[in-house]
Structure 1
Amino acid sequence: MGLLRYLYGPGRHEEHRDPHVVAGFRSAPELEPGVRADGSRDLRRLDALLTQPLALLGERNYRQPVWHLPLRAAPEDPVMSDRQWARIAHEVMDRVGLAPDGDFGAVRWVAVRHAADHVHIVATLARQDGGRPDVWNDGYRVRDACRTVEQQHGLRRTAPADRTAARRPSRGEIEKAARHGRPLPSRTLLRRKVQTAAAGASSEAEFFRRLHDEGVLVRQRFSERTAGEMTGYAVALPDDLNGDGRPVWFGGGKLAADLTLPKLRRRWTGADGSVRALSPFCPLDGRHLSERTRRAVLRTAVRRAADESATTNEFLDRLRGEGLLVKLRYGQTVDGQITGYAVAFAAEHDGKEPNWYPGSRLADDLSLSRLRQRWASPVADPQVAVDHDELTPEERQALYDDAARAAAFATAQIRRHLVTNPHAAQDACWAASDALHVAARVTGNRHLHRAADAYDRAARAPYGRIPTPTPAGNALRTTARLLALTGTAKDRTVVSMVLLVANFISLLDTIAQLRSLQERHAQADAARRAAAHTREVRPAGSAPSPPPAGPNAQARLAMAAFPNAWAPLPQVAQSRSAPSASTGPVRSGRRRP
């Protein structure tokens, strides 16, 4: 009765006009509530008709026996008549399976229209023949029904229910954020933090460490069968509390389909369970980095290992654990005495001699003798990492330039797939989200944050599938790792992001074309919105970004070498849906219609 009162009432903001039944399990005139002498509606008869089948089920009733589905047309759609809305309501109930056409024992339902652009369908989850209807995964059937209706009536086409969209915050979460003066609901902010942590991490342990560093509360779930086996996690913000004063937790799957723990583990392990990456440094292919970047990355890795070690053997083990090759130098006077070391990227070890970097070449204080003096100092604490200003302004600029070339290489690879096989670039589309989130995090640019959030849907494969790694995707993950390394320095020297931003724009425009060829229009729109936000970025000293009519001069310059593979370059002057389930089918609790 409460839901019917709302539908026939004035609405929360006096927005309900002329509420009336347009369709139902009987003809609309038979179901229309009567009008009392004072002008109010007598809803008792309609309430009794709808709830009568519940008595047949008895204890087998659903705990929430009321099924509620709003259907709304898009603003640009024409205003439809009552007869058209009636046909839509019958089509939806037929395809969802609650009231198939010609099934006289189906559930009882009504469709109430109280505005020009939408109707509400209300049904009781009890069949008239005493059966209990199936509502498992009914949201997917509703989405398929809506897409059929859109095609039949020439309405705005909406996306399929393919789980490429992230979980949207509820109305209560949005209102709670507004009451507390937060710019974003907790669910949205946590998803951003989890995605950024996953993009910069190369292992499960590092992922959780990054979340802790961001001030996110983490609760891990362990198996009840296998001791010590972690099966999931949940995250919360310290200042987001419920009525009992406890944190409001969100599991990874409640944020997005690809943020569950098993899906995240696929980032770091292969299909056979082998470890894909042990550290943020081993996925980086040294052959594709400039000399300055190679030294900066290796110095960062060596310094991290030194900060966490107390002996020579522990230090060397940590270097190997970072995925680096290590070559030792032995003394000539004492057998087996280690007098020095050199490191190289493991990805360079393909039959040729890699480029080795002795510790003293990376930094004066990273020679083995200086490290031993430091470890021998009584004040040395291997558990406390020393805070270093690791990157010079020139090195930070080199990392940005290499990240920009990695993005350009990925764009070239995706463009090849535009003609040959548009579905082969899924890994690059997914990895582009990592690059955008990390770029937004390390630069703090609000337009890049908006671009990363807008792009979110364009990144995912349907149903949260994890794609097979590709060179283009690995290049974008390299972009994310390089940018993450620049964020570890204390000196936030302003660097030129002109080339990086231009290449991001070109990348997003290319992905939008790819998604259009795949006929994934919602994902194409997401990529276009992300590109529009990226065009708003104003790097220091740059001119305003051009309109989205075509690639700008910087983007054409970055792509001039295509289809050549990415390689070191010399220093040069280089919806409201229609009709759609706006909130999805809602079981309204144990209240009567």
Structure 2
Amino acid sequence: MHRRGARVGGLLRYLYGPGKQEEHINPRLVAAWDGAGDLADLEPDITALGKRDFRKLTTLLEEPVRAGARPPAKPVWHCSMRLAPEDRDRVLTDGTWGRMAREMLTEAGLATDAEEPGLRWVVVRHNDDHVHIVATLVREDGRTNWARNDYPKCVKATYNVARRYGLRRQVPPADRTAHRRPHPVEVSKARRKGWSTTPRDELRKRVRAAVAAASGEKEFVDRLRESGVLVRLRHSTTNPDQVTGYAVALPGAGTSAGEPIWFSGGRLAPDLTLPKLRQRWGEPPPVRQPGLTTRAARVAALGKAAEAANSAAEEIRRTASIDPAGAQATATAAADLLTSLARAREGERRGALHRAAEVFDRAARDLNGRTCQPTSRAYELGAMSRLVAVMGRISGDEDTYAALRLVLKLAKLADALEQVRAAQQRLHQAEAARAAATALRAIAGATRPPVTVPLTPAVTPGPTVKNDRRAPRSR
């Protein structure tokens, strides 16, 4: 899905041009709206100078916009359909691509048959593995189709098309469990500054670590400030003593004028708003655990956490079908435990365990940022998370081996979560749980004594800013 625009002609010139990201080979139309006529008549003519004349096609696409009562300021809708790497050994015909695009648009509510006035659109192909769809968002009868929620609709429709056409790689429909991705402007700024990640991603990691280590709102805010994060509380307009939200910012990552750039919890991830965090902590909040100063105490605490994680894995398998809310609360608390363990093991280094915790958190998140009331098992895991958070850095051999046992138990819990998400048809999260389990076992295998055969590590998501390109978006 691309940003909406105002000039159809400019977009067509680019699609028929040489290309910037990749070479455009033999650009041509492969489908158009019902009633458009023969594709050969729509194809932009080549002039005597060897250039394309887009005026006729541009005029046809813009006619409903010019005749519309109140057309949108940016009426040009642009989308791409691309084969996954697993399917690129297949070269689909122009007719197949045209039918696939038409079916996707129809299911998404953007294309209609000739008897119903709909949008005007065309499909342009200039490579073997993908096509571009260009539409204007004013119908033949002058009404605007605002294409609201077009992204999840198109993803779901593309999934169904891939199944019907027997493609091997079928991207599951979007489930709205991914965190908010940085804006391209944020990525560009981080690249210019030489940062390894954007302020939004860094803040999300610090906020999650504070959530996992806190038992309530006050401790959460204190831990954020201790980690170097600027915190601004939002108060109710009717009751100034009531806190209704918060925003965070990173020092040194503000505007050119030196002003901090604030992010509310909801702009970091859908489940990090203050009301959802309050529900996640529950009432009354558990008592904060004291610091663990001796190695024996830390080993014992990690052992208790491993037992709790093992029991939680068995409980999720046993009760997910009859108590999905309880299983969800347990999974969320387990994600907090892994976040605290990653910080205790790696500190600010952001190594493999941090990356595995990020993937596990995606698998454990509920749909649309919902939060379930904590159960007794969730309270137990939450207490273990806070216990691990206050024990300090894990450094000695005994501490490390105890931590690795906990890592393996959390991998077992990730296996259970994968089964639950697959049964719920939440395939993005099932894939994330499987990747987290593989990564956790790889971490444990890579740091065990040499007599143990190491497991093959799985690929886990890298930083948002990497080299000169933005990381692929997680849906």
TM range, normalised to the smaller chain?
0.7 to 0.9
SS for the counterpart of 2:23 is coil
Q: What residue number does 1:429 align with? A: 331
Amino acid at match of 1:46: L
Q: What residue number does 2:316 align with? A: 414
Task: Select which of 243, 255, 279 maps to 2:268.
Answer: 255
The whole-number CA distance in structure 2 between the counterparts of 1:416 and 1:188 is: 35
Q: What residue number does 2:106 align with? A: 94
The whole-number CA distance in structure 1 between the counterparts of 2:13 and 2:258 is: 34
- Is the counterpart of residue 467 in structure 1 residue 475 in structure 2? no
SS for the counterpart of 1:277 is coil
Contact 1:406–1:478 (8 Å) recurs in 2: no
Q: What residue number does 1:50 align with? A: 61
Q: What residue number does 1:15 align with? A: 23
> Structure 1 residue runs of 4+, over 6 Å off?
418-423
Normalized against structure 1, the TM-score is what? 0.68
Q: What residue number does 1:501 align with? A: 407
Normalized against structure 2, the TM-score is what? 0.83
Q: What residue number does 1:387 align with? A: none
Amino acid at match of 1:95: E
CA spacing shift, 1:536–1:24, aligned 2, 3 Å: same
What is the Cα deviation at residue 80 of structure 1? 2.1
Task: Select which of 169, 173, 178 maps to 1:165.
Answer: 178
Identity of aligned residues (%): 43
SS for the counterpart of 1:127 is coil
Long gaps (5+) in structure 1: 270-274, 282-296, 301-389, 550-581, 585-593
The whole-number CA distance in structure 1 between the counterparts of 2:235 and 2:426 is: 37
- Is the counterpart of residue 534 in structure 1 residue 436 in structure 2? no
The whole-number CA distance in structure 2 between the counterparts of 1:97 and 1:246 is: 43
Q: What residue number does 1:484 align with? A: 389
- Is the counterpart of residue 454 in structure 1 residue 353 in structure 2? no
The whole-number CA distance in structure 2 between the counterparts of 1:234 and 1:80 is: 49
Alignment of 1:234-383 (within 5 A): 234-242=247-255, 245-269=258-282, 275-277=283-285, 279-281=287-289, 297=290, 300=291
Kindly name which structure, 1 or 2, has the bigger radius of gyration based on alpha carbons.
1
Task: Select which of 66, 70, 80 maps to 2:80.
Answer: 70
Q: What residue number does 1:378 align with? A: none
- Is the counterpart of residue 227 in structure 1 residue 240 in structure 2? yes
What is the Cα deviation at residue 420 of structure 1? 6.6
CA spacing shift, 1:72–1:242, aligned 2, 3 Å: farther
Alignment of 1:61-140 (within 5 A): 61-77=71-87, 78-140=90-152
Structure ranking higher on relative contact order (CA contacts 8 Å, 6+ apart): 1
The whole-number CA distance in structure 2 between the counterparts of 1:548 and 1:475 is: 32
Contact 1:7–1:114 (8 Å) recurs in 2: yes
Contact 2:301–2:388 (8 Å) recurs in 1: yes
SS for the counterpart of 1:112 is strand
Contact 2:328–2:366 (8 Å) recurs in 1: yes
Q: What residue number does 1:39 align with? A: 50
Amino acid at match of 2:420: L
Task: Select which of 209, 215, 237 maps to 1:196.
Answer: 209
- Is the counterpart of residue 3 in structure 1 residue 16 in structure 2? no
How many residues end up aligned between the 2 structures? 438
SS for the counterpart of 1:76 is helix
Long gaps (5+) in structure 2: 1-8, 458-471
- Is the counterpart of residue 520 in structure 1 residue 426 in structure 2? yes
Alignment of 1:395-410 (within 5 A): 395-410=297-312
Contact 1:447–1:536 (8 Å) recurs in 2: no
Amino acid at match of 2:199: S
What is the Cα deviation at residue 422 of structure 1? 6.8
CA distances 1:549-586 after superposition (whole Å, capped 9, x unpaired)? 9xxxxxxxxxxxxxxxxxxxxxxxxxxxxxxxx989xx
What is the Cα deviation at residue 235 of structure 1? 2.5
The whole-number CA distance in structure 1 between the counterparts of 2:60 and 2:438 is: 52
The whole-number CA distance in structure 2 between the counterparts of 1:218 and 1:207 is: 11
The whole-number CA distance in structure 1 between the counterparts of 2:241 and 2:61 is: 51
